[in-house]
Structure 1
Amino acid sequence: MTKAAKTIQKIAGKDPISAAIVLGSGLSAVGDLLEDKVTIPYSELKGFPGGGVSGHGRDLLIGQMGGKRIAILTGREHYYEHGNAAAMRPALEAMAELGAETLLLTNSAGSLDERYRPGDLMLISDHINYAGMNPLIGEPTDRRFVNMVDCYNPDLRDKAKAIGERLGFAVGEGIYLWYSGPSFETIAEIQMAIRLGANAVGMSTAPEVILGRFLGMKVWACSSITNMGAGLSNEKISHEHTKTMAVQGAEKLKRLIPALVEEL
C-alpha cells in the first residue's frame, strides 16, 4: 500500500470507500455535502496535488454521502502546471487502494454546441485526446494497453440522465476534447474541435479517465458548462469568468451527485 493510502487510513480509519470524486474549477461546494467529514490537506499526502490552481481546493475529504463512504478530492493537478500527464496517478492509486470501485470526475468546460449553454451540465460520453499526451507513458507492464471503449460507463451515464430528469433539469451528453492549456483556445482551434466532432473543450479529465480505467475503476465524468468557445459568443473568456459561472453548474451537481452515489 502506498504511503498516502496508509496516511489516509491512519487519519480517517480503515473502512473502505465506495467511490472517489474529483472536483473541477469552482465546484468545491459539492464537498460541503459530506457528513461525518474528515479533512486531510494534500500537503500531508505523498504525491497528491501540489501548488494547485485558483478555484481548486487543496484537501482530501472522507465522509458519508448517499449512504456510502466516499472520498472527495477538492482539486486536481493539471498537465499545464508542469507538463506531467500522470500528475494525478499517485492520488488515484491511493483511492483504488482504499477500495474505490468508481471514479466520478467533474470539470468546468467551454461549450462548442448550442444545446449546451453556460450553467448547463454535459455528461461526457467519450473524449478526444487532442493534447496527445498519455499518463501511462513509461508504464513498464502490459497493463498500459488500456481498452478505452465505453471508458465513460454507459450505465452510470444512463442513471445520471434519469436522475436529472427526476430532479427537473436536463442532463445531456457529448464528446469532450482535452486541450492542454493553460492559454484558452483560438477561434480557429475551436472551429477545428467542432469539425472533429467535439461538443465541449477543457484542460483536464482525460488523463484521469485513462488512469481510472488503468486502475480498474468504473468512470463517470460531467462538465459544468461555463462559457461558449472562442468566437461562439460575445462573452470575454477568462479563468475568473470560469470560476464565476461554475457556481451555476455546482448547484445542479450538488443535487445530481448524491443521488448518483446512492445508486452505485
Structure 2
Amino acid sequence: MELSYLEQINQAADAIRARIGSRSPEIGLVLGSGLGDLADDVSDAVAIDFGDVPHFPVSTVAGHAGRFVVGTLEGKTVIVMQGRFHYYEGYSMRQVAAPVYVMRKLGVRTLVVTNAAGGMNRAFRPGDLMLICDHINMTGDHPLIGKNEPELGPRFPDMSEAYSKPYRELAHRLSSQIRGDDGNALELQEGVYCGISGPSYMTPAELTMLARLGGDAVGMSTVAEVIAARHCGLNVLGISCITDMAIGEELEPLSHEQVVEVANRTKPKFAALVKAFVREAND
C-alpha cells in the first residue's frame, strides 16, 4: 500500500531524528547554487546524505552537495540543506517542498532560503545580495495541489507576508555592521523574486515580460519551499545572490558555471550576513 504524503514526511523526519539524537533544530537553512560552503561553518555536525533519507530524491545539479548538516551555528542548533531539489529535475512540487515539512517536524520555526538569481532590476549588479520581499510563482505548478494534510497546515494558507518583514528589517540592520573588501558596509538590495520552472534560461521577451510584471530577480527554485514554509507556519527570510544581469533588451549568453563562479565570489558577505542573522533571530 502506498504511503500518504504525511506518512512519508514522518518517516523521513524519524530517520533524521535517529541520526541526530535529542537535538532539536531551531533554524533551517536552504543553500542554493554555489552557496553550500556555509555548512562547513557548522560545528559538532552530523551530515546525512539525501539518499539516506526515506522517500527523498537525490539532487543532480552541480554546486549542490545533496545532504543535510545538523549542528551548531552561532550558538543555535540548525539544520542545513546543502543543496536542494528542483522541479526541472523531474521531481514533483510536493517532492521539492517535502524537506521543509520534514524540518518543521524536527522543530524548526525559522527558515532561511537562498538562491542564485538573475537580476532584472537595472539598479542591481552581479554579486549583489537581494532580500526577497515577495515572489511571483511562474512555474505553472503549486506544491499544495492535491489532498491537504491538516496536520501540516490549512487548506488555504495566507500568503500576505510570505517573507517576514521583521526578518528583513533585522537583516538590513545587521548589514550595516558587515564590511566588504573595500571597507564599506554591506548594502542589501530588496525586491520581488520570480520563480520559473527552468531548466532553460529565459528568452529576452520572457525577461522583459517578468520585469514589467514587477519582478526584480528570476530563478528556478524557492517558491515551492516558501509556500510550504508558510503552509506549516514557518517564518521566512529569503536571500538571492544576483549572479548575472537578466535584462531582456541587453541579454547575453549565460552558463551554469558562470552562475556558480559569481556565487562563489559572493560567499564571504553572504556567509557573514546569514551567520549574523542566525545569531540574532528569534521566532
TM over 0.5: yes
Of the three residues 173, 176, 182, the one matched with 1:162 is 173
SS in 2 for 1:103: strand
User: How many angstroms apart in 2 are the aligned matches of 1:138 and 1:61?
Assistant: 31
Equivalences, count = 264
In the alignment, which residue of structure 2 is the partner of 1:113? 121
In the alignment, which residue of structure 1 is the partner of 2:6? none
In the alignment, which residue of structure 2 is the partner of 1:34? 42
User: How many angstroms apart in 1 are the aligned matches of 2:252 and 2:172?
Assistant: 29
Displacement of 1:2 in angstroms is: 1.4
Structure 2 portions without partners, runs of 5+: 1-8, 179-184
In the alignment, which residue of structure 2 is the partner of 1:222? 239
Deviations 1:71-124 (A, max 9, x none): 000011111111511223332221111100011100000000122211110010
Displacement of 1:253 in angstroms is: 1.4
Of the three residues 183, 191, 198, the one matched with 1:181 is 198
Say whether the 8 Å CA contact 2:121–2:247 is kept in structure 1: no
Matches within 5 A, 1:126-205: 126-140=134-148, 143-167=154-178, 168-205=185-222
User: How many angstroms apart in 2 are the aligned matches of 1:240 and 1:132?
Assistant: 26
In the alignment, which residue of structure 1 is the partner of 2:27? 19
User: How many angstroms apart in 1 are the aligned matches of 2:149 and 2:43?
Assistant: 39
Question: Does 2:261 align with 1:244?
Answer: yes
Q: What one-letter code is carried by the residue in structure 1 that aligns with 2:245? A: M
User: How many angstroms apart in 2 are the aligned matches of 1:42 and 1:203?
Assistant: 20
Say whether the 8 Å CA contact 1:230–1:237 is kept in structure 2: no
Displacement of 1:30 in angstroms is: 1.0
Displacement of 1:52 in angstroms is: 2.2
Deviations 1:121-148 (A, max 9, x none): 0010000111231100003357131100
In the alignment, which residue of structure 2 is the partner of 1:60? 68
Structure 1 residues 211 and 162: CA distance shift in structure 2, 3 A: same
In the alignment, which residue of structure 2 is the partner of 1:96? 104
User: How many angstroms apart in 2 are the aligned matches of 1:139 and 1:228?
Assistant: 39
Give the fraction of aligned pairs with identical amino acids, expressed as a percent. 38
Structure 1 residues 231 and 20: CA distance shift in structure 2, 3 A: same
User: How many angstroms apart in 1 are the aligned matches of 2:54 and 2:247?
Assistant: 38
Say whether the 8 Å CA contact 2:122–2:247 is kept in structure 1: no
Q: TM-score, normalised by structure 2?
A: 0.89
In the alignment, which residue of structure 1 is the partner of 2:18? 10
SS in 1 for 2:207: helix
Please tell me the root mean square deviation across aligned C-alpha atoms, in Å.
1.5
Deviations 1:13-39 (A, max 9, x none): 122110110010111111111111111
User: How many angstroms apart in 2 are the aligned matches of 1:232 and 1:27?
Assistant: 29
Say whether the 8 Å CA contact 1:16–1:69 is kept in structure 2: yes
Say whether the 8 Å CA contact 1:18–1:69 is kept in structure 2: yes
SS in 1 for 2:177: helix
Q: What one-letter code is carried by the residue in structure 1 that aligns with 2:243? A: T
Displacement of 1:263 in angstroms is: 1.4
Displacement of 1:230 in angstroms is: 5.2
Displacement of 1:217 in angstroms is: 0.5
User: How many angstroms apart in 1 are the aligned matches of 2:213 and 2:246?
Assistant: 14
Structure 1 portions without partners, runs of 5+: none
In the alignment, which residue of structure 2 is the partner of 1:79? 87
